Structure 1
Amino acid sequence: MLKINHLELFAGIGGFRQAMELLASDYNFTSHCVGFSEIDPYAVRSYKSNFSDVETKEIGDIIAFNEDPKNITSLPDFDLLTGGFPCQSFSMMGKQKGFLDKRGNVFFEIIKILEIKKPKFVLLENVRNLTTHNKGETIKIVLSSLKEAGYKYIHWDVFDTNDFGLAQRRNRVYIFASREKLDNNFAFSKNEIISVFKTISKNANLERQKDVLDILEKEVDKSFYLSEIIKPTILADGSASFKSKSEINCLIAKPLTATMVKMHRACQDNYYSIDFINSPNPYDYLSQKFSKEELKEKEIRKLTPKEAYLLQGFSENFFNNAKQAGVSNHQLYKQAGNAASVNTIYAILYYLFIYKKINEG
């Protein structure tokens, strides 16, 4: 029987682990997370409220952990290292300092572990801007570092969450590296994995959404409604120094951000009018055109933290566990915005381990 042990670095709330455990359950194989690293205490709380395996080592701060090579050596052996290493250094919304930024430098902590533990496979996630940052030099450093660590077979592509059954546009680069030669028909590409994902049974244990109407709740607490004071700012088409096209009621959500709790403009975050949500025919409603002044008269709300979790592929039960653990809405928003999309990872893992059977060689 297939068995996959993996180490989850920069875990957040556990997107990689959730995808792996769902896949293992759906296809009857054994999955074990030997350890996870995460420094945000609220993310750790949400993580542990959903994953309670006492045998999973809590690494904490990966930099402090790696200071003593014996800590790395003491980790149980594992087949796969996963991680969405901090992306602020490469994000279009950040200052793009890359490897000059300490958060960018933590990538090399991954390399330290790979050089000592030598797992067969690596799967990493980051923002799309990683591929163009510093005129392409940053991605070259990532790939060459993996190759120097013994991973000669490296593939990467940019994947959109919306292609994998979630109502959110979210482009992220995924990098897959192997120490072992893969068969000649191996193609780690967006189009190939989308094609294979379409063959996955509808009974797979995944959240699936045609559009946001599948996740938007009819009744939510009034605290999620925009005040009359904030509406003009949210709906404005930018300002003197920032021009944008404000849009609400998007059927496919804009990319969730870790700072969505602050309520950015409608070009950056997701807002919905109550008459759209409650319309007997929301699709016809969208054909109507409203002026800015007319929109300001409507009741408009932001996404709830639960809806944000769902748009990332986490189940309602997963969200409820985090909420019941005492995690605030502020932190739940941040966690959803930082998370790796479960369905995208599930699709990639399915392609690797079920469709291509790379761990059976």
Structure 2
Amino acid sequence: MRYIELFSGIGGFRNAADHLTVDTDQPFECIAFSEIDRHAKSTYLANYNTEGEVQMDDIISFTDEKKNIENLPDFDLLLGGFPCQAFSLLGKQLGLEDERGKILFSIHEILKEKQPEFVVLENVRNIIKHDKGKTLELIINFFREHKYKYVNYVVLDTQSFGLPQRRSRIFFVCSKKELEIELTEEAIVRNFNNIDHHGLHTYSNVLDILGKDADQKYYLSEKIKHTILDGGSKNFWSKSQIDLDIARTLTATMVKMHRACQDNYYSDDYILTGQSHMDTSKEVLFKKPVRRLMPSEALKLQGFDQVFFDRARAAGVSEHQLYKQSGNALSVNTGYALLHYLFVHLRIQD
């Protein structure tokens, strides 16, 4: 199955597709990818064999030239994440003048010219409620207008697929032919749990990921520890907890080290002995060694392995950028579970 990956980031979908090619009798071949962020692209190029593939880079500039789209090899499947703001602008007069509107127009041009049989796109779960549901309706109608007879979505949580992170994302599945399938989280999780063998990395909890010899630079200083472990002010207060077995959702801004009600922090007691301080008072925690996630650990929480991290670092990608890329990434195992369900278990392409 030939595919392109739009807004590829560090290749969450591609990593999943590569695993499926090795694990199953359904091969996937990437023929083109787009990513505008040069740091993410460096990580991508360091980890995947992209020889002979079309590097679309900025999708807006690429689709401005009609010949670029015409010269794209035919493909069966369009994969990727997408900026939800582009769809929220659909009904506004200035939508296509806006940069995000131009992204939507780029997707439109590719679909119109290449007519891929299937589309699988990922976004944040909150898009369901965005603008009182109007954005969701616009997205569904957009694909129906492009002659996709089956347009549906499912919300999947990363922690259901062997990665100890709470991360719910919405996935849109579109097909040119009518499908009578059960597209539910329950069915996809059930199928994933019944897979006999796969090459994915899975972990029962964060302890399976945390390294026991982290450099001192990852530990919180006494000064910042008081801010991070604090619950906030009377205007904004949320319970700060560390040592969570299932990590909070990774964010692209985790490098800024938000409070412990938003980001993930771990004590040496937890890392070395398994003793959790999840409900320990902050006054006691102030005296304990506590650290942030290392970027390699953040990547592992998204399904990428140590080799992936090492290759990115060897290519000159900074730890700062790898934190950002981890927070933006599609969880490999989640992408794998969905693609396996659709194209290996149900074989909707047949």
Give the TM interval when normalised to the shorter protein.
Answer: over 0.9
Cα 1:103–1:226 change in 2 (3 A) is farther
CA contact (8 A) 2:12 2:331 kept: yes
1:241 positional shift? 2.9
CA contact (8 A) 2:267 2:288 kept: yes
What do you get for the CA RMSD once the two structures are aligned? 1.7
- After TM superposition, the runs of 4+ consecutive aligned structure 1 residues lying more than 6 A away are none
Cα 1:287–1:44 change in 2 (3 A) is closer
Unpaired stretches in structure 2, ≥5 consecutive residues: none
- The answer to whether structure 1 residue 112 and structure 2 residue 106 are counterparts is no
**Mean CA deviation greater in 336-345 or 234-243:** 234-243
Query: C-alpha separation between the residues in 2 aligned to 1:102 and 1:216?
Result: 40
Tell me the residue number matched to 2:285.
Answer: 295
Tell me the residue number matched to 1:245.
Answer: 239
Query: C-alpha separation between the residues in 1 aligned to 2:258 and 2:337?
Result: 31
Tell me the residue number matched to 1:346.
Answer: 336
Tell me the residue number matched to 1:12.
Answer: 9
Query: C-alpha separation between the residues in 1 aligned to 2:65 and 2:276?
Result: 58
CA contact (8 A) 2:241 2:278 kept: no
Query: C-alpha separation between the residues in 1 aligned to 2:115 and 2:279?
Result: 58
Tell me the residue number matched to 1:194.
Answer: 189
The 5 A counterparts of 1:321-340 are 321-340=311-330
**Mean CA deviation greater in 100-109 or 237-246:** 100-109
CA contact (8 A) 2:34 2:56 kept: yes
The 5 A counterparts of 1:22-33 are 22-33=19-30
CA contact (8 A) 2:12 2:332 kept: yes
* AA matched with 1:53: T
Query: Match of 1:126, SS?
Result: strand
* Residue of 26, 50, 53 corresponding to 1:53: 50
1:181 positional shift? 1.9
Query: Match of 2:109, SS?
Result: helix
Query: C-alpha separation between the residues in 1 aligned to 2:107 and 2:178?
Result: 21
Tell me the residue number matched to 2:161.
Answer: 164
Query: C-alpha separation between the residues in 1 aligned to 2:108 and 2:186?
Result: 29
Tell me the residue number matched to 2:303.
Answer: 313
**Mean CA deviation greater in 287-296 or 97-106:** 97-106
**Mean CA deviation greater in 123-132 or 48-57:** 48-57
TM-score, structure 2 as length reference: 0.94
Cα deviation, 1:281-319, whole Å, max 9, x if unaligned, reads: x1xx23885211101111100000000000001121112
CA contact (8 A) 1:86 1:104 kept: no
Query: C-alpha separation between the residues in 2 aligned to 1:269 and 1:347?
Result: 26
The 5 A counterparts of 1:29-178 are 29-86=26-83, 89=85, 102-103=99-100, 106-178=103-175
Unpaired stretches in structure 1, ≥5 consecutive residues: 91-95
1:71 positional shift? 1.0
- The answer to whether structure 1 residue 265 and structure 2 residue 265 are counterparts is no
Give the number of aligned pairs. 344
Cα 1:97–1:263 change in 2 (3 A) is farther
Query: C-alpha separation between the residues in 2 aligned to 1:321 and 1:257?
Result: 22
Query: C-alpha separation between the residues in 2 aligned to 1:288 and 1:42?
Result: 35
**Mean CA deviation greater in 316-325 or 97-106:** 97-106
Query: C-alpha separation between the residues in 1 aligned to 2:147 and 2:140?
Result: 11
Query: C-alpha separation between the residues in 2 aligned to 1:226 and 1:306?
Result: 18
Tell me the residue number matched to 1:225.
Answer: 219
* Residue of 178, 188, 194 corresponding to 1:181: 178
**Mean CA deviation greater in 22-31 or 43-52:** 22-31
Query: Match of 2:222, SS?
Result: coil
1:323 positional shift? 1.4
Cα 1:287–1:352 change in 2 (3 A) is same
TM-score, structure 1 as length reference: 0.92
Query: C-alpha separation between the residues in 2 aligned to 1:169 and 1:326?
Result: 30
Cα 1:66–1:287 change in 2 (3 A) is closer
Cα 1:26–1:306 change in 2 (3 A) is same
